[in-house]
């Protein structure tokens, strides 16, 4: 057997192994058509991509957000997709609820409204998030409080409100969208990282405690995704420099993942009841390295941050990405081409 034949045989074997693995994973996926899904932060970005995917799976989908105009646009989008779907109309419906997940009363009222319409909630996706980008010198105690309110308490409130009903019927799925920032500390994203670490701890502890109850908990740890989220991010310090590195990083292929692809992988993990799913190859590599050598990983993050990230600044005034003129320059528009496409598709307010 010559060298070329050996390579061809090896490649065929690898391909066959990948196909077999994919078929095996699909065989473990349960049918969720007809289930009721509640997605927090579902009016744009990854939340909207997930809502579209669950609609495609034949689910009733409720999304919540604080912005009524965003919700109206998202509702129209999802309703069109539901009408076009191949699934029976009785198995797909869309509902929007204005809710601030940092307020416990709002959350409890939202759950009551969704249950009044469909009887129960089968799948909860805690996705609401807040991104604050900038050096630690520019951050305030309020920034940490805001991050924890949205991404920790905004995960705890819906979960604890729904959990008694799920336990009573011995079924339910809880999906917590955390981040690679919940695996390794990321410079210039410290409040975000803190809140995501807390949410991941809650999610992992919850799964362990709910084993054998019929309620499954899945922790999702995405890396950078092309959702156009840089438009909604809040920037501090050197606004232009901070927005430039973050927006380009979250728009470039290879560094970031398409939101639709991410949503497909997340929904598949939910259907299998996976414990966790780390999205994007760079994020997976960083998470594995941190698990083996956490000190080295943090030192490397600090080294890379010192070389790439903007110099520290103490400007504590925050500006959203959509308001920054530097993101509209010809050079940035070229670099952000995929990010801008994602932003338009995923209902983001753009610069």
Give the catalytic positions in this structure.
192
* Residue 216 bridge partners (DSSP): 173
Sign, Cα dihedral of 97, 102, 106, 107: positive
β-bridge mates for residue 96, sequence order: 63
Buried-state track 74-106, b at ≥16 Cβ within 10 A, e below 16? bbebbeebbeeeeeeeebbbbbbbebbbbbeeb
Please state the separation of Cα 306 from the chain's center in Å: 27
d(CA 285, CA 298): 14
Helix axes 190-209, 141-148, angle to 10 degrees: 30
Residue 245 tokens, joined = 């590195």
Structure tokens at 48: 């909207």
Between CA 52 and CA 263 the distance in angstroms is 9
Are 264 and 158 within 8 A, CB to CB?
Answer: no
Pairing of strands 319-320, 225-226: unpaired
Whole-angstrom distance, CA of residue 168 vs CA of residue 151 = 27
């Amino acid at each position: 057997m010559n060298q070329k034949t050996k390579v061809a045989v090896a490649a065929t074997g690898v391909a066959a192994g990948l196909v077999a693995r994919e078929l095996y994973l699909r065989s473990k996926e349960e049918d969720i058509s007809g289930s009721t899904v509640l997605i927090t932060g579902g009016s744009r970005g990854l939340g909207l991509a997930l809502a579209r995917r669950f609609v495609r799976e034949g689910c009733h989908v409720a999304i919540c957000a604080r912005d009524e105009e965003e919700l109206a646009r998202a509702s129209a989008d999802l309703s069109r997709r539901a009408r076009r779907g191949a699934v029976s109309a009785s198995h797909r419906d869309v509902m929007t609820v204005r809710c601030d997940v940092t307020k416990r009363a709002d959350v409890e009222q939202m759950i009551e409204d969704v249950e009044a319409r469909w009887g129960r909630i089968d799948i909860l996706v805690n996705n609401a998030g807040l991104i604050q980008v900038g050096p630690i010198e520019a951050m305030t105690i309020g920034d940490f409080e805001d991050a924890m309110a949205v991404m920790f308490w905004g995960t705890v409130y819906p979960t604890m409100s729904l959990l008694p009903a799920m336990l009573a019927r011995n079924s339910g799925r809880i999906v917590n969208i955390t981040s690679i920032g919940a695996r390794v500390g990321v410079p210039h994203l410290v409040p975000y990282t803190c809140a995501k670490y807390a949410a991941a701890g809650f999610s992992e502890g919850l799964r362990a405690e709910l084993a054998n109850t019929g309620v499954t908990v899945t922790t999702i740890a995405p890396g950078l995704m092309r959702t156009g989220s840089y438009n909604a991010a809040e920037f501090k310090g050197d606004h232009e420099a901070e927005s430039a590195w973050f927006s380009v990083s979250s728009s470039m292929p290879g560094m970031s993942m398409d939101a639709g692809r991410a949503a497909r992988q997340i929904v598949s993990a939910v259907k299998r009841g996976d414990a966790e799913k780390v999205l994007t190859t760079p994020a997976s590599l960083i998470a594995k390295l941190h698990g083996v050598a956490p000190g080295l990983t943090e030192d490397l993050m600090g080294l890379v941050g010192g070389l790439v990230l903007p110099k520290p600044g103490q400007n504590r005034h925050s500006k959203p990405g959509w308001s920054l003129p530097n993101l509209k320059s010809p050079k940035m528009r070229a670099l952000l081409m995929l990010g801008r496409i994602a932003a338009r598709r995923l209902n983001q307010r753009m610069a």
